[in-house]
Amino acid sequence: MTTDSLILPIALPLLGALLTTALPRIAPLLGVIAATLTALSGLWLTGQVWGGDALNIVLGGWGLPLGIGVAADGLSASLLAMSSLVGLGISVYAVGYFAGSDRGLHFWPLWLLLWTALNGVFLAADLFNLYVMLELLGLSAAALGALTGSREAVAANLRYLLVGLLGSMSYLLGVALIYTAYGTLDISLLSERIEPSALAATSVVLMTAGLALKAALFPLHFWLPPAHANAPAPVSAALSALVVKAAFYLILRLWTDLFANITTTGAAFILGALGAGAILWGSWRALRAERLKLLAAYSTVAQIGYLFLFFPLLQAMPPGPARDDLFAACVLMAVTHGFAKAGFFLAAGLVQKNAGHDRIDELGGAAQSMPATTFSIALAGSALIGLPPSGSFIAKWVMMRGAFETGQWWWLIVIVTGTLLAAAYIFRVLSRAFGQEPTPRCFVTDARAEIPALLLALSSVALLGLAAGPIWSLLGFEGVQT
């Protein structure tokens, strides 16, 4: 039962996608049921990993390598937990958001398909299945992003699709080279066999480049802002909070697991330097953005940059508790951003709906008339800045410590500049909420839509900031006292 349940987080949303396609009239109802079950199965699986060891199973009655291998360890379970909770929040929000609109009909199957692929990426145990799941993710994401049907949205997502395809092609070529050299695609087998060679190095470069394109790592981020900013709010939330994380998860997995023997300080430094570029450029563009959702999209570019800053630190840090702390902090950062950015986009969507636009300079009245939504933006924003008590504050604290301990103090300048820029762009939005417009009468104006955004934002701050311990436990770093 325990190992069989590994397949549920993939099978349930897939089933949901099929049912919502077949029965469009009750799609929202079916969608929410499927979302709830998916989330529960994901959380249950996380609980299993927490309680015991890593799980794995091979499907289809075939042995490896033909069978589809599914596995869950601490890293995948952490991200699975994130996708479960964030996905549930997005689903509940979407019911209200799409009520009375045809677009909802297409939203539910595509969204559940995207969720299937996402969980598939987190759970797949071999490189080829990862490719299939990545492609499925890219396809459903591009289709969802174009849901509004507006010219900008379709054009941006067509580009997103092509970029995604290019990324997966590059990844797939890397996989082919790996198979040529080692004759297997199973991650755990490969990590034992792999050793430094020109072929292995080429495949690292190909796979990393392809995934970096999908993760929107600067300067390959150009496709992200228009695609994320023009999608409907629940889709933006899913794209920014979850989909880019899938590609990042894979890079992290490959670098720390599969290719741990052959990555070098220089290569890690390049990733870090690109991350630094992302932080500075993304934050700067977010500060200059005129629209709220574009701001949020550029903020994603910057936040992805922080995640890549961990690579040079991880590379330089010798194995031990300090490196475990860094790794956990990296995961914490990714998960916190997932919650915070989803909360931010959902709230931004409400503001946009209420005001009829999302031009930041004219948002005063709308922001002030919706205290709960503005509060969500503030909470999520403080997590994006990295202010305490958010999870990203804890992550930054550990990251800065790692920079001191490994003597790579130059990253501190980037982190500090990025933090100040983030504060500037977040408070540029928040300052609109303190105008002299009429006072709202109560805190929550539209519970079904506002509460998911608020809860997601609150989790990124209170839950992940004050109780980050479970991430350490999930990753098997419990009892480490430094």
Partner 1 sequence: MSQLLTWTALLPGAILLSSLVPGALIFLLKEESHLLRGVLNMAGAIIKLVLVVVLIWGVFLGGVFETRITIAPGLDLVLHADALSVLFVTLSTVLWLVTTIYAIGYLEHSPNRSRFFGFFSLCVSATVGIALAGNLLTFVIFYEILTLATYPLVAHRGTPDATRGAKIYLAYTMAGGVALLIGAVWLRSLTGPVDFVEGGVLATMPEALHPQLIAIFLFLLVGLGVKAALFPLHGWLPQSMVAPAPVSSLLHAVAVVKAGAFGIVRVVYDVYGVEFASQLGLLTILGVMASITIVYGSIMALSQDGLKKRLAYSTVSQVSYIALGASILGPIATIGGVVHLVHQGIMKITLFFCAGNYAETLGVHKVSEMDGVGRRMPWTTLAFTVGALGMIGIPPIAGFVSKWYLGLGAAEAGEHWVLLILAASTLLNAGYFLPILYKAWFREPPKSWPQEHVFDSRFETMGALLWPPLITAALCLIAGLLAAAPFSPLEWATLIARREYAP
Partner 2 sequence: MTAAFLYGGAGILLFALGLWSLLVHEPLLRKLIALNIMGAGVFHVFIAVAHRGDGTPPDPVPHALVLTGIVVAVSATALALALHNRLEQDASDSAQSTSTSTAGLLSGLSISPQSDIIRHE
Segment 166-185, which members bind partner 2 (CB under 8 A)? 166, 169, 172-173, 176-177, 179-180, 183, 185
Q: Which is nearer to partner 1, 24 or 389 (CB)?
A: 389
C-beta of residue 289 within 8 angstroms of C-beta of residue 370: no
Extract the runs of DSSP E, i.e. beta strands, from 389-437: none
- Please give the Cα distance from 288 to 40 (Å, whole number): 40
Residue at token pair 């951003």: 337
| Smallest separation (angstroms) from partner 2 to the CB of 173 | 5
Of 18-26, 165-173, 190-198, 310-318, the window that binds partner 2 (rule: CB under 8 A) is 165-173
Residues 6+ apart with CB under 8 A from 333: 303, 306, 307, 310, 391, 392, 395, 396, 399
Q: How far is CA 190 from CA 68, 86, 197, in A?
A: 16, 32, 14
| Residue among 100, 151, 361, 441 that touches partner 2 (CB under 8 A) | 151
Q: What would the two tokens of residue 145 be? A: 């992003």
Residue pair 20/108 in contact (Cβ under 8 Å)? The answer is: yes
Q: What does 389 interact with, of partner 1, partner 2, none (CB < 5 to 8 A by kind)?
A: partner 1
Contact 234, 298 (CB under 8 A): no
**Residues contacting 12, CB < 8 A, separation 6+:** 34, 37, 38, 41
196 binds partner 1 (CB under 8 A): no
Residues 45-74 contacting partner 2, CB under 8 A: 65-66
CB of 183 or CB of 469, closer to partner 2: 183
Q: How many residues bind partner 1 (CB under 8 A)?
A: 50
Restricted to residues 130-149, the positions that interact with partner 2 (CB under 8 A) are 131-132, 135-136, 138-139, 142-143, 146, 149
> Which of partner 2, partner 1, none does residue 142 bind (CB under 5 to 8 Å by kind)?
partner 2
SS (H, E, C) 4-27: HHHHHHHHHHHHHHHHHHHCHHHH
CB of 157 to partner 2, least distance (A): 7
Give the binding range for partner 1 (CB under 8 A) out of 6-14, 194-202, 252-260, 431-439: 431-439
- Residue 393 binding: pick among partner 1, partner 2, none (C-beta 5-8 Å cut-off by kind): partner 1
How far, in whole angstroms, is CA 450 from its chain's centroid? 21
Nearest to 279 by CA among 218, 229, 335, 344: 218
User: For 415, what's the count of Cα atoms within 13 Å in the CB-facing half-sphere?
Assistant: 25
| Distance set, CA 249 to CA 118, 139, 172, 252, 334 (Å) | 11, 18, 17, 5, 9
Nearer to partner 1, 22 or 412 (CB): 412
Q: Which of residues 304-343 bind partner 1 (CB under 8 A)?
A: 321, 325, 328, 332
Count of positions on this chain that bind partner 2 (CB under 8 A): 35
27, 86, 114, 156: residue in contact with partner 2 (rule CB under 8 A): 156
H/E stretch holding 323 = helix 321-355
The yes or no reply on residue 40 touching partner 2 (CB under 8 A) is no
| Residue 260 touches which member of partner 1, partner 2, none, C-beta under 5-8 Å by kind | none
Structure tokens at 459: 């989790």
The smaller minimum CB distance to partner 2, of residues 22 and 66, is found at: 66
Residue 365 touching partner 1 (CB under 8 A): no
Which residue is it, tokens 């475990």?
324
Distance between CA atoms of residues 133 and 50, nearest Å? 25
- Does residue 410 touch partner 1 according to CB under 8 A? no
- Selected binder of partner 2 within 159, 357, 401, 428 (CB under 8 A): 159
Count of CA atoms in the C-beta half-sphere (13 A) of 204: 26
CB of 330 to partner 1, least distance (A): 13
Contact flag: residue 201 with partner 2 (CB under 8 A): no
Cβ distance 464 to 396 under 8 Å? no
Looking at 32, 40, 59, 165, which residue binds partner 2 (CB under 8 A)?
A: 165
Q: Among partner 1, partner 2, none, what binds residue 66 when CB lies within 5 to 8 Å by partner kind?
A: partner 2
Angle at 94 between CA 118 and CA 374, to 5 degrees: 105
Residues 443-462, one symbol each (x = binds partner 1 by CB under 8 A, - = not), give xx------------------
Q: Pick one of partner 2, partner 1, none as the site partner of residue 177 (Cβ within 5 to 8 A by kind).
A: partner 2
Residues at the site binding partner 1, with contacts judged by CB under 8 A: 321, 325, 328, 332, 371, 375, 382, 387-389, 393-394, 397-398, 400-401, 404-405, 412, 416, 419-420, 423, 427, 430-431, 434-444, 465-469, 471-472, 477-482
